[in-house]
Amino acid sequence: MLAHQPPQIARANGIDICYEIFGDPAAEPMLLIMGLGAQMIHWDDDFCRQLAARGFRVIRFDNRDIGKSSHLSGGKRLTPFELLKLRFLKIPVAAPYKLIDMAKDTVGLMDVLGIKSAHLVGASMGGMIAQEVALSFPQRVRSLTSIMSTTGNPKLPPPTREASAVLMAPPPTTKEEYFDRFAKTWKVLRVGSFPEDEALDPARAARTYERGLNPNGVGRQLRAVLASGSRKERLHHLKIPTLVIHGTVDPLVRPEGGKDTAASIPGAKLLMIEGMGHALPIPMWPQIIGAIAGHAQGAAAKAA
């Protein structure tokens, strides 16, 4: 049996961060950073175990403003008008914090855990945070894997209308409405039929609901992304072994987001996964986990 430490709270960067560890304490550390409005449990337990079984100490955590980590305050709900101003007039969105603050949360958690450097794996907004850690704290990053993420380049295509509607929908007001929304949201984001995942959706929704929702926090996270601007120019100078994974049918962060990330980072490898949307569906785990583990092991071998 693989070692497993149940969720604990660390005080890092002035906030409480809830984290959980899978795998051998002596193994190479790998931090998994989740996306917008997504709790750490969106890195599925079995996904984490399978990565740990490849020889990593896998750490997942709730970003600020989500799950069991600190919930902050301030920042009104984002309006379509603000988005239009950002898109067409390039007027930045105001935000209580930015991605750099979330990057400092990640590094702060590493400090608490006594981790000098780690493999970083980020999904969606988590990929943006991982990029920011790699840019601002390069000595802390052994390898970078950016999944279904982007550079923040404003020239890239926006989400599909359907995916935008999911992102901007007002928060559900009842438990039933939440469960219904959860199923519909993932149907849109997964693009297509994934019976194994759909069968787990009610249990996943229940677990997310029980850990606690924070709609205002999701709004602040979205503001953080939009207020942080583009990383494209800075990424040209990154010297960290990078793997970019993206789905060919991603409706939220379009495939161009992954291609732009890989094109912006010297020597980055790009893996486009056929038929993958904005999700990590179970049938694609072998390919995704294999790629993450292979990339991290390759970077570790080179460093040695």
Strand partners, 243: 145, 269
Cβ atoms of 147 and 268 closer than 8 Å: no
What's the confidence (pLDDT) of residue 53? 97
Strand partners, 246: 272
For 39-89, write each residue's pLDDT tens digit: 999 999 999 999 999 999 999 999 999 999 999 988 777 776 666 666 666
Task: Please spell the DSSP secondary structure of 42-68, one letter per residue.
Answer: GS-HHHHHHHHTTTEEEEEEPPTTSTT
For 129-174, write each residue's pLDDT tens digit: 999 999 999 999 999 999 999 999 989 999 999 999 988 888 899 9
- Cα separation of 43 and 62, whole Å? 10
pLDDT above 80 (res 263): yes
What's the confidence (pLDDT) of residue 77? 72
What's the confidence (pLDDT) of residue 76? 73
How far apart are the two ends of the chain, measured CA to CA in Å? Answer: 28
What's the confidence (pLDDT) of residue 60? 98
Cβ atoms of 238 and 134 closer than 8 Å: yes
For 12-31, write each residue's pLDDT tens digit: 999 999 999 999 999 999 99
% the chain with pLDDT above 70: 96
Angle 217-220-221 (CA atoms, 0-180°, nearest 5)?
Answer: 90
Q: Residue 62's closest CA among 10, 115, 113?
A: 10
What's the confidence (pLDDT) of residue 243? 98
pLDDT above 90 (res 2): no
pLDDT, the chain, mean: 94
Handedness of CA 199, 207, 43, 247 (dihedral sign): positive
Q: In this predicted structure, which of 28-32, 91-95, 197-201, 249-253 has the lowest mean pLDDT?
A: 91-95
Q: How far out from the chain centre does Cα 163 lie?
A: 17
- Cα separation of 278 and 288, whole Å? 13
What's the confidence (pLDDT) of residue 87? 67
* Whole-number CA gyration radius for the chain: 18
Q: Residue 204's closest CA among 39, 31, 6, 5?
A: 39
pLDDT above 90 (res 203): yes
pLDDT above 80 (res 1): no
Q: Residue 255's closest CA among 271, 236, 240?
A: 271
DSSP H stretches of helix in the chain: 45-52, 80-84, 99-112, 125-136, 161-168, 175-190, 195-211, 215-227, 232-235, 255-264, 285-303
What's the confidence (pLDDT) of residue 81? 66
The domains located in the chain, with CATH, are: 4-159+216-303 (3.40.50.1820)
For 109-125, write each residue's pLDDT tens digit: 999 999 999 999 999 99
Work out the pLDDT band at 265, boundaries 50, 70, 90.
Answer: very high
- Cα separation of 193 and 163, whole Å? 16
Rounded to 10°, the helix 175-190/195-211 angle is: 140
Mean pLDDT over 181-209 rounds to 96
What's the confidence (pLDDT) of residue 110? 98
